[in-house]
Amino acid sequence: MFHVAPSAAPALRRDPADTARRLILLLAVVAVLVVLSFLFLWPVVMLALGVFRSAPPGLPGEWTLQAFEVFLRSSMYEALFNSLILAASTTAIGVFVAALLAYVNVRTNTPLRGLITPAIMLLLAVPNTFYALGWAMLGNPRSGLVNVFGRSIFGEDVTLFNSTSWVGLITVLSIKACAFSYLLILGAFKLQSSDSLDAANIAGSGRWGTLFRVDLPSLAPAIGGAVIICMILALEAFETPLFLGVPAGIRVFATDIYSTLRNTTPPEYGEASLLSIVLFVVVILLAWWYRSLMSKREYSTVGGRNYRTAQIDLGAVKYVVSALVVLFLLIAVVLPVGQTLAGSFQTYLGNYASFTLDNYAYVLGMRDLPRAAITTIAIFALGGVVIAVALALNYFAIRMPRHPATRYAWFLTWFPLALPGVVLGIAIMWGVMSVPGINQLGGTIWLMLIGVGVAGIPLASRVAEGAVRQVRPDIEDAALIGGASRGRMLSGIVAPLIATSFFSGWVLVGLSMIGNLAVPLMLSATSWQPVAVMSYDLYNFGRIPQAGALFGLTVLGALIIAVAVFVVILGTRLIQKLIARRTDAAA
């Protein structure tokens, strides 16, 4: 008999260089996930533990339940009730006005409807700190432009608008809520098919009946999502309640948390942490509701390739609507920004008889201005890093949606959305101060930059997601099939395609970050405060015209940066066109 020995299959030997590359890639992925976990997840864990500590972050203390005594105070429930009332009212007004503006822009032939979107974008570009400052000046009962104008017509005893009141607070936050809601609703209005609207008109439904019975119900997911997002933003609002609510004695959760740390001796970090956790849980529940709502698409009525958007002829009413659009532009943008700039040239707020440059001379002569300018520029530069990180994370998350690492990173980048600025500042303080070695960052500019950078990630991720989805995967596949390496494909194809989104996103995220007041107030060093904190200090000490002058200098700097970015974007597009022409010529 013959015994045939089983042939051993030749061992597959892996290239050592390939093994090294895989190992380096694995280590890089692990390092990125560890850093993201430390920045986004670890602070929340330490914030929860801080509720049970008797000492501030980084100091020895005992485990205690003393912080829970805050639930026995009526002031906590007053702040919670005020926060809910403020969120509900501003959301209702903001979303309703936003839906009407989107309807006017998309569905009607109003002559000036083209001004709506640029006005909304300009409104969003104004940082919250300076927008609240502008309204605090505009609606000042004694010297605000609105009330000076009102007294000149109706008499000395008339106050048309008081910004430091419930009406003022709701008005200003409603305008900001309207801007966010408009962007969330506009796309759904544009993609809505006109077939159902035509059917409603044939059935005898009038213009307004079609709006309320067909248009708005079919857009329920988009409008519902805008409602929840606006409620989250209103609950997280800090700058506007600080400028307009605190002087009127209106307590909300965010300002109460800040007051617990700044106006008590010693600071009650345990109570502040507990209040932060309560607000965090409320926001998380709203975010979960938003996610579940947006996952339902039963109400969508999006047309196919040949869908068309129906436009309604308003007749003579379109001129009235145009006037209302101009009025919105004046109230939302021109008046608050104009009042701030006009006030910067006044000897005192309300003196419209003479103007001076002394306020600018005072601000330029401030000892802390150079450091404030450097800190603000550093924050804006950090915005570029944040948008770059968001682009990278979103690219891999979209290209590899099922990979556990990318899904985990995707989840972490959205985590700060549930952390209001004050809460985020406290959480990062707990997270950093609890780690030996890294706790040396406490009280430095670096800790503040970390906090502001983390706060900017959610907005950057939203900008980055839209940019990455515009790059078709088949373009990348064609480059790889053609022999290009992945690195060459990313640098030669993907990077140029998203360059415009990168620079425009940098401006948007950078402006949002330099206008963040809550995180720097919690984390910034005394000697390295940004312009936003300096302007609040000037306003708080009664130097309102000087605060306006600081805003004017900030606007000038922002314009210079915007022009520079525009030139870079224009140059990038020209280079892309030249490359495309050479490629076509070579083909």
Q: Phi and psi dihedrals of 312, rounded to 5?
A: -110, 130
DSSP state of 493: I
pLDDT in tens, the chain (587 residues): 445 555 444 544 566 767 777 788 788 888 888 998 999 889 989 988 889 988 888 778 888 888 898 888 888 899 989 999 999 999 999 999 999 999 888 888 888 888 898 889 888 888 889 999 999 999 998 888 899 888 888 888 888 999 999 999 999 999 999 998 898 888 777 766 555 555 555 555 555 566 666 666 667 777 887 888 888 889 889 999 999 999 999 999 889 888 888 777 778 888 888 888 888 888 778 777 766 665 554 444 444 444 455 677 778 888 999 999 999 999 999 999 999 999 999 988 877 778 899 999 999 999 989 999 999 999 999 998 998 888 888 888 778 777 888 878 877 877 787 777 888 888 898 899 888 888 888 888 999 999 999 999 888 887 787 778 777 777 777 777 777 777 777 777 777 778 777 887 888 888 889 888 989 988 877 778 899 999 999 998 889 999 999 999 988 887 887 788 778 778 877 876 776 676 666 55
Reduced to 3 states (helix: H, G, I; strand: E, B; else coil), residue 346 is: strand
Position of tokens 């106006």?
A: 263
d(CA 317, CA 310): 18
Q: Where are the domains of the chain?
A: 73-304+311-337, 354-587
d(CA 329, CA 113): 11
Q: Phi and psi dihedrals of 155, rounded to 5?
A: 115, 165
The packing angle between helices 116-125 and 166-191, to 10°, is 130
| DSSP codes joined into one string, 408-438 | HHHHHHHGGGGS-HHHHHHHHHHHHHTSTTG
Q: Burial, 44: exposed, middle or buried (Cβ in 10 Å; 0-12, 13-18, 19+)?
A: buried
Cβ contact 537:152 at 8 Å = no
Position of tokens 């008046």?
A: 335
Beta strands in 148-247 (DSSP E): none
- Cα-to-chain-centroid distance, residue 263: 28
In this prediction, residue 481 carries a pLDDT of: 79
Q: What is the pLDDT of residues 100-130, one digit of tens each?
A: 999 888 888 888 888 898 889 888 888 889 9
| CATH class held by domain 73-304+311-337 | mainly alpha
Fold classification of 354-587 is MetI-like fold (1.10.3720)
d(CA 252, CA 254): 6
| DSSP codes joined into one string, 119-134 | HHHHHHHS-HHHHHHH
Cβ contact 494:471 at 8 Å = yes
For residue 367, give both structure tokens. Answer: 């000892």
Q: What are the Cα distances from residue 301, in Å, to 316, 516, 581?
A: 30, 38, 40
113: closest CA among 102, 125, 105, 103?
105
Longest CA pairwise span in the chain (Å): 122
Position of tokens 């409008």?
A: 223
Q: What are the Cα distances from residue 265, in Å, to 51, 242, 260, 268, 382?
A: 18, 20, 9, 8, 34
Cβ contact 185:102 at 8 Å = yes
In this prediction, residue 296 carries a pLDDT of: 53
In this prediction, residue 450 carries a pLDDT of: 93
Domains 73-304+311-337 and 354-587 share a fold: yes
How many other CB atoms are there within 10 angstroms of residue 137's CB atom? 28
Question: Which residues, listed in sequence order, are joined to residue 143 by a DSSP beta bridge?
Answer: none
d(CA 139, CA 130): 14
Q: First vs last Cα of the chain: how many Å apart?
A: 68
d(CA 560, CA 577): 26
User: Residues, the chain, total?
Assistant: 587
DSSP run (H or E) holding 558: helix 544-586
Q: Burial, 444: exposed, middle or buried (Cβ in 10 Å; 0-12, 13-18, 19+)?
A: middle
For residue 303, give both structure tokens. Answer: 């047309």
Quick check: bond before 266 cis, omega within 30?
yes
Q: Is the dihedral of CA 318, 322, 327, 329 positive or negative?
A: positive
Q: What is the pLDDT of residues 39-80, one digit of tens each?
A: 988 998 998 888 998 888 877 888 888 889 888 888 889 998
Cβ contact 506:383 at 8 Å = yes
Q: Phi and psi dihedrals of 73, rounded to 5?
A: -100, 135
For residue 489, give both structure tokens. Answer: 């494909």
